[in-house]
Amino acid sequence: MFDDEQFMRDPDALAWSMEHDPGLRSTIVAVTWLDARPDVDILVARLERATRLAPRFRQRPVPTPVGLSTPQWVDCEFDLSLHLRRIAAPAPYTPATVVEFARMEAMTAFDPSRPLWVVTLVEGLEGDRAALVFKVHHSLTDGVGGMQLAMLVYETTPDTGPVEEVPLPESAPEPSGVGLVRGAVGHSLGRMAGGVRAGLADVVPAARALVRHPIRSTLDVLATTSSLGRFVAPVSGTLSPIMTRRSLDRHLDLVEVDLADLKRAGAVVGGTLNDAFIASITGGLRRYHELHGAPVDELRVTMPISLRQEGDAEGGNRITLERFVVPVGETDAGARVRLTGWRCRAARHEEALPLSDTVAGLLNLLPAGVIGSMLKHVDFLASDVPGVPVPIFLAGAPVTGYYAFGPTTGAAVNVTLVSYRGTCCIGCTIDTAAVPDPEKLMACLRDGFDEVLALGGDHHPVTSMLAADPA
């Protein structure tokens, strides 16, 4: 009897299969800034506990023979010491040294013979501070799931009392080649049977609807078909005339924006936090293109849309990636927020969204080059992840900031917002072939946020922990 849960879901398998093209590598790096050194023994105990509560973090992916099914998660000889490292911060012991280390992590592939994550504690920063750099593959979790998993390690109190004992999860020996084939065949047959049952369950209601409302039913089918076409349509070129090249080199940077200010700026013109966030990015990109004498009206964005529901297990990918065009050339910040909101809401209500797992399964059957054509001509990626509104601690050390640096996945830039204690912690991952002058882009992005924040009146300044603006 095979265990269906031991096989990657199609979206997770898609994220893992893209590793065949290093330009589409799906590595997430998150940096937690700490106001003191954490208690290492407590940190070790809490990480051990977390991996027992989420045993997927004690497993590694194994491909099924001749692609019979999605890869299988198998138990391996788990050794926490191989996934938790401690290093001393190099001179000059500033946040920039941590971000440089995170940059190297983002560009380095995982060892597939071990679980796809690693944590590095960077100690000895100025002021006796520290930072935790968490590297994880996207097939293990999405942004929301990552925050859920983080709360298995972080606490809402500085108390470093005994860590709750959790029994070791049951483990099974790695299946033999015959076992892998048997499991993969069983998994595939089970999915086919499930699909047939689901299809049959839909036939009668669909037939009744067609008889009672033939025009509306036909229009619904056409709308869904059109939506599916937009999901999988290849893109032949970037809309940006300058951010066209792609490489494996990355630049990481960050920005801090007051959460209440950004929410207020969006609300003033009838928009949401996400609308104001995307419009701030496009305002920065407009400035960057104008700086290079290449004004642009629109750019194409990939935006992860969460499909996570209450009761879903922590970890795993419960997202779908939507590609659509957003306004950039509109200089009126309020108008740009409103236009952006309309485009984002249209994307969130695509008829094909409920079929995203099926779409991922179909994409898994395509050559990597086809997937690359869909993603490498996207101009930028933006993600807004709800974070933690209250102070948290890591093994007794106060957390002062939490930044996620998402993969570019073929785009020129990834901008990821995670909120923490009233602050938008915004991490930027930049492909340096597409943007050879990242410092100038970051200055433009800060101006873009200032432009949108001004809609709400007086606001806190847009800041960065790293170097000052270039001359």
Tell how many helices (H) and how many strands (E) occur in the chain. Answer: 12, 14
Coil, strand, or helix at residue 48?
Answer: helix
Coil, strand, or helix at residue 257?
Answer: strand
Burial 186-225 (b: 16+ CB within 10 A, else e): bbbeebeeeeeeeeeeeeeeeeeeeeeeeeebeeeeeeee
Coil, strand, or helix at residue 384?
Answer: strand
CA distance 290 to 310: 44
The letter for the amino acid at 44 is: V
Residue 251's beta-bridge partner residues? 430
DSSP 119-137: EEEEEEEGGGEEEEEEEEE
Kindly report the length of the chain: 471
Question: Could you count the other beta carbons within 10 Å of the beta carbon of residue 470?
Answer: 10
Tokens for 328, please give them.
């950039």
Q: How far is CA 347 from CA 12, 231, 326, 329, 350, in A?
A: 21, 10, 11, 20, 5
Q: What is the Cβ-side half-sphere exposure of residue 288, based on CA atoms within 13 angstroms?
A: 28
Q: What is the Cβ-side half-sphere exposure of residue 64, based on CA atoms within 13 angstroms?
A: 21
User: Catalytic amino acids?
Assistant: 138
CA-nearest of 236, 231, 248 to 408 is 248
Share of the chain residues as helix, strand and coil, in percent rounded to the nearest 5: 45, 25, 35
The letter for the amino acid at 203 is: V
Phi, psi of 366 (to 5 degrees): -90, 155
Question: Could you count the other beta carbons within 10 Å of the beta carbon of residue 117?
Answer: 19
DSSP 27-39: EEEEEEEESS---
Residue 398's beta-bridge partner residues? 393
Contact (CB, 8 A) for 255 and 426: yes
Eight-state DSSP code of residue 92: T
CA distance 101 to 90: 10
CA distance 405 to 301: 17
